[in-house]
Amino acid sequence: MLKNNVLPNNTLIPIKVISTGVALPSEKIEALALDKKLNKPAGYSFKRSGILYRYYANEDLNQADLAAQAINDALVRSSINPQSIDLLISSCAIPVQALPYNAAHILKASMLPKTLTTFDINCSCVSFICALQVAAGLLNSGTYKRIAIVSADLASRGLDWQDEESSLIFGDGAACAIVEKGNGTSGILSCLFETYPEGIELCEIRAGGTRCNVKTAMNESDFLFHMQGKQLFKLASLLIESYLHRLLMQANLTLEDIVTVIPHQASHLSLEHMRKRLKISNDRLIDIYRFRGNQVAASIPSALHEAIITQRFKPDDPAMLIGTAAGLTLGGMILLP
Amino acid sequence: MLKNNVLPNNTLIPIKVISTGVALPSEKIEALALDKKLNKPAGYSFKRSGILYRYYANEDLNQADLAAQAINDALVRSSINPQSIDLLISSCAIPVQALPYNAAHILKASMLPKTLTTFDINCSCVSFICALQVAAGLLNSGTYKRIAIVSADLASRGLDWQDEESSLIFGDGAACAIVEKGNGTSGILSCLFETYPEGIELCEIRAGGTRCNVKTAMNESDFLFHMQGKQLFKLASLLIESYLHRLLMQANLTLEDIVTVIPHQASHLSLEHMRKRLKISNDRLIDIYRFRGNQVAASIPSALHEAIITQRFKPDDPAMLIGTAAGLTLGGMILLP
């Protein structure tokens, strides 16, 4: 509960999450099955990754269809009329294709109004936090009234099975949040994004745009995730301490004021680091990693959905969304639900 | 000049363009040289495309570097300190690569502050208009004070020389606008985006994401622009009439109130259609097409820059940004400069 139940600095930017939903492919990959596939002893994959199972899309599943399922889940759970949505924001890290943008594909697959305003926000794995901030700006300038934000990523399409580190941690999925301006009691207490492009090559897929294509040069490896996990973790750990301080300062809060932490489900190691660093009890840290893996941009809204359905995202209880993303980018938001 | 010099409905959302800049690759492709290359009679390419020359990036030029040049041009032209920018939005249609997002690459190539907040907005060829709307929301909620928006596209990387229609019209380039909230006398009078996904396949590049890649299936053609120009023009022409009416209605204006029209430089045909439809004199329609071609998302901010340096974007004179984009998406904004 917020100290004295008053807003710090009166700087809250109103936004209210009125519903969330998720979608997962039907194919579940169990760690034990993976051990066999990789010809490793039972327990190896779980020990290395911290994941019991995660979900993979088969080749027929389209990223836009999975996104549309998550939107539908969010609509149905709160009995929201699809026709009442006046903006669809796609906040995926990796697109369906180079052109057109994702949200047009998602709109086509969805039951939302067929001429809806749509666009993409991309900030890698923290795209959803960024989309929330953008949505708050648009809601408060009166431009839109009810916005659906959806993140869907199919990391399996870029997995390099020769690279154990990345191939063991990613899972597919989608999640959606529907937001309104609300009555002013809920909103953004602080929001901070910092980009450290010196880490840009630590997590990347080089093909897909103007850099590696048929006109320049490309090879199969350019289509796969390249992650230098140790260096990524090292750089992120180095930066996160002072970053967190700045994020909290902006809200005039301390770590003790944060009731629920909703982190990007980056890796077993990153979640453990967060747990120790924030000295936070298990029930206050949303951790769905062992049943999902790292779902790229879909992780944070999926964790938000988990927080909501387990009653850990409640009025007056400040919640923190936080993550590190390919860029390298740190993104975080302190929300009053 | 606006009727009675008063704001219609008092619904202006403040935003002020304080500088713009452009960048072009060094290699210029003249229509006459193209005639020879294509083994056609002199004058053929110009007659077919309406383009005298356009610019192509050679293989060494990076999309992010071109974007950074445009940002620098905008900074230098108005003597703006790079350190005063607090947000960079990339509004390109096609990315540098699948991951990470464009703005991280552009930040790395630029002289902007190295930990700056960055993200991408994508709405194909009308991305820049969308980014302006998003920027206005963020400026008015007090989240940022001075935002650089940059669009850079290298269509040449996706040209299919077997397809005369698309290979003749695209050119490379970049443009940047720097915006602030301003003093409230300039801003958005209306803004409207409509998505018609039934036209999604009329302009696309199928590879680059989760749809066509090494895990599913792909061929060289998936990396190239596929444009069904006639059908695209037909669908857009069918929709634009009533769309324009809605855009103007929202601002409580008529076509006669619009002093300058800044259209997407989609094609010779689209600009002629706009000229006839709007019954607008040449000096009021910004047309840089014959010296640039269709620069994808970079066209609209490049045309805005042209309007500014030719004194056709002035206080009290409503200007209309408008375009059709792969999606199929219609986007437009009426701005009081």
pLDDT in tens, chain B (337 residues): 454 444 444 589 999 999 999 999 999 999 999 899 889 999 999 999 999 999 999 989 999 999 999 999 999 999 999 999 999 999 999 999 999 999 999 999 999 999 999 999 999 999 999 999 999 999 999 999 999 999 999 999 999 888 888 889 999 999 999 999 999 999 999 999 999 999 999 999 999 999 988 888 888 899 999 999 889 989 998 999 999 999 999 999 999 999 999 999 999 989 998 898 888 888 999 999 999 999 999 999 999 999 999 999 999 999 999 999 999 999 999 999 9
Q: Is A253 helix (H, G, I), strand (E, B) or coil?
A: coil
Question: Is residue B150 within 8 Å of B90, Cβ to Cβ?
Answer: yes
Contact residues for B37 (Cβ-Cβ < 8 A; gap 6+): none
Reading the block at residue B205, the tokens are 């590049």
- By Cβ distance, the residue of A95, A138, A192 closest to B137 is A138
Query: What pLDDT is recorded for position A164?
Result: 83
A 13-52 near B (Cβ less than 8 A):
13
Residues 79-118 of A with CB under 8 A from B: 93-105, 107-108, 114-118
Q: Please count the CA atoms within 13 angstroms of the CA of B334 that sit on its side-chain side.
A: 26
Kindly identify which residue of chain B lies nearest to residue A196, measuring between CA atoms.
B115
CA nearest neighbour of A102 among A56, A150, A135, A136: A150
- Cα A10 from chain centroid (whole Å): 28
First CA to last CA across chain B, in angstroms? 11
Q: Which domains does chain A have, with CATH numbers?
A: 13-180 (3.40.47.10), 187-336 (3.40.47.10)
A206 near B CB under 8 A: yes
Min distance A310 CA to chain B CA atoms (Å): 31
Task: Using CB atoms, pick whichever of B117, B140, B211 lies closest to residue A141.
Answer: B140
Residue B329 in contact with partner chain A when CB distance is under 8 A: yes
Q: How buried is B52 (Cβ within 10 angstroms: 0-12 exposed, 13-18 middle, 19+ buried)?
A: middle
Residues of B in contact with A123 (CB under 8 A): 101, 103, 118-120
Q: Is A162 part of the contact surface with chain B (CB cutoff 8 Å)?
A: no
Nearest chain A residue to B118 by CA distance is A195
Positions of chain A with pLDDT lower than 50, given as ranges: 1, 3-9
- For residues A169-187, b (16+ Cβ closer than 10 Å) or e, as one string? bbbbbbbbbbbbbbeeebb
Q: Distance (Å) from the C-alpha of residue B281 to the closest C-alpha of chain A?
A: 31
What pLDDT is recorded for position A5? 43
Distance from CA of A281 to the nearest CA of B (A): 31
Touching A: B residues 256-295, CB under 8 Å? none
Measure in Å the smallest separation between the Cα of B331 and chain A Cα atoms: 9
- Which residues does B334 contact at the CB level (< 8 Å), separation at least 6? B188, B189, B190, B191, B247, B248, B250, B251, B253, B258, B318, B319, B320
The minimal CB distance from A94 to the residues B123, B209, B223 is found for B209
Query: B96 contacts in A (CB within 8 Å)?
Result: 209-211
Question: Is any Cβ of chain A less than 8 angstroms from the Cβ of B154?
Answer: yes
Option in B98, B124, B143 nearest A100 (CB): B124
Residue B152, min C-alpha distance to chain A (Å): 11
CB pairs under 8 A between A and B: 286
Contact A327 B118 (CB under 8 A): yes
- Contact check, Cβ <8 Å, B158/A327: no
Contacts of B258 (CB under 8 A, 6+ apart): B248, B278, B284, B318, B319, B320, B334
Q: Which residue of A has its CA nearest to B123?
A: A119
Q: With an 8 Å Cβ cutoff, is B325 touching chain A?
A: yes
How many Å lie between the alpha carbon of A63 and the closest alpha carbon of chain B?
Answer: 7
Closest Cα in chain A, distance from residue B174 (Å): 14
Report the distance separating Cα B187 and Cα B307, nearest Å.
16
Distance CA B315, CA B271 (A): 25
Nearest to B98 by CA among A22, A96, A304: A96
Q: Which amino acid is at B53?
A: Y
